[in-house]
Structure 1
Amino acid sequence: MEFNTIKKWDAQLWNTQISPIYHRAFDGKGAKPEKIIRNMFSKQLCYLHIGMVENQIVAMAVTGKLEGTDALIIDYLAVDSKWQHRGIGMQMMRYIQEWAMTKGNLKSMVIEVESEETPETLTRNQFWKKCGFTMTEYIHHYIWVPESYRAMYLIMVPDTNIPKHGEELFKYIERFHKASYQGA
């Protein structure tokens, strides 16, 4: 499997290869409109990580640095449905973790997960726990979406400055989302 990280918006790549994976995974589940993702790229708020098998993109992730911390937030991560249950998500996470430490000079990672305990969310949360993430107790309610969320964090280097309490983490996460939407 090959990996790459892209720092600039590429409409053709997004429309032909990334968008189908992204929309299958996130439509109706918090998908940001394309114009917001383009805005994130234009403001240099995000990175697009791709995983390829035989020159075909089979996994994607959109990440960004949480300002004021040394943490990378995983905004979206998806594996093409035809390639799931083959360990590709774990390989993608290992790549993102290595990239974050070596290229991003980052020491921790954060993700927000839906707090409702459905079979689907429990399965996803198990994946994140296998990746080394720790669940926080605090449940966050956004005013613009009906779902509530919890934060999970992964400490990659002991001297990270990432807060370990969900309420504090969501202050940074909300700033990231607000910056993503501003000016779009």
Structure 2
Amino acid sequence: MKLEFMTTDHWDESLWNRIEPVYREAFPSGAKPKGILRSMLDSGIACIHAGLYHNEVVAMAVSGVEGALADKRLIIDYLAVRKETRGQGYGTQFLGMVCDWAQKEHQVRGIIIEVESGETDVHAERIHFWEHRGFVLTPYVHQYIWVPEPYQAMLLPLDQSISVQDNGQSLFRYINSFHKKAYRQR
């Protein structure tokens, strides 16, 4: 059950062709188009991660580092596990690999994700996944102008001095900075 971990900061079409089915399955709507993802890698603001089991992609993530040198955070923009392999520990193992990579390669002090804010069982399951892995849900609900769903930020502190000093609104400064770079016209 040990995954092989791959990370790339440049576009690799053959790797993307293996990752894309997991990405599209998990994010059928609201996912960034391939051209935006490619541009994010080409401009150096993001990496794509893959978790492989017996050479099959079972997990994927898109991430980017935000913040000043002493205050770096990893933004996990997308993280998904192939549907038929969920519940087998791949997501936890893969997330651990992404966290280890971020600390080793970028000395990040925390990891930020955003989750859809809502009251459904699906929302509760997603939040529970992240909380079970050490992420802290913040109460601030952020409404983007270009998507209908509201979002909340979650933080995984990797340094004892890291915590959320407000209701979570400050975490969206990192997230919004990352999104602004991702959608900047090239």
Per the TM alignment, residue 162 of structure 1 is displaced from its structure 2 partner at its CA by 7.0
Q: Aligned partners of 2:37 and 2:78: how far apart in 1?
A: 11
**Structure 2: tracts of 5 or more residues without a match:** none
TM-score normalised by the chain length of structure 2: 0.93
CA contact (8 A) 2:141 2:150 kept: yes
**Structure 1: tracts of 5 or more residues without a match:** none
Change (3 A) 1:162 1:100: farther
Q: Aligned partners of 1:49 and 1:159: how far apart in 2?
A: 28
Per the TM alignment, residue 5 of structure 1 is displaced from its structure 2 partner at its CA by 1.2
Give the paired residue count: 182
Paired letter, 2:46: C
Q: Aligned partners of 2:58 and 2:116: how far apart in 1?
A: 24
Cα displacement string for residues 153-172 of structure 1 (whole angstroms, at most 9, x for unaligned residues): 01011244876541111122
Q: Which residue of 2 aligns with 1:112?
A: 114
CA contact (8 A) 1:71 1:162 kept: no
Q: Which residue of 2 aligns with 1:134?
A: 136
Q: Aligned partners of 2:6 and 2:135: how far apart in 1?
A: 23
Q: Which residue of 2 aligns with 1:97?
A: 99
Q: Aligned partners of 2:7 and 2:40: how far apart in 1?
A: 15
Paired letter, 1:102: K
Q: Aligned partners of 1:171 and 1:163: how far apart in 2?
A: 13
Cα displacement string for residues 9-33 of structure 1 (whole angstroms, at most 9, x for unaligned residues): 1112112x111110010012x2011
Change (3 A) 1:100 1:123: same
Map 1:153-168 to 2 at 5 A: 153-160=155-162, 165-168=167-170
Percent identity between the two aligned chains: 42
Q: Aligned partners of 2:12 and 2:180: how far apart in 1?
A: 23
Cα displacement string for residues 34-63 of structure 1 (whole angstroms, at most 9, x for unaligned residues): 111011001111111111111111110111
Q: Which residue of 1 aligns with 2:61?
A: 61
CA contact (8 A) 1:59 1:79 kept: yes
RMSD value, Cα = 1.5
Local SS of the residue matching 2:15: helix
Q: Aligned partners of 2:163 and 2:35: how far apart in 1?
A: 32
Per the TM alignment, residue 82 of structure 1 is displaced from its structure 2 partner at its CA by 1.8
Q: Aligned partners of 2:158 and 2:112: how far apart in 1?
A: 11
Cα displacement string for residues 133-152 of structure 1 (whole angstroms, at most 9, x for unaligned residues): 00101000000000000000
TM-score normalised by the chain length of structure 1: 0.94
Q: Which residue of 2 aligns with 1:78?
A: 80
Per the TM alignment, residue 81 of structure 1 is displaced from its structure 2 partner at its CA by 1.1
CA contact (8 A) 1:70 1:161 kept: no
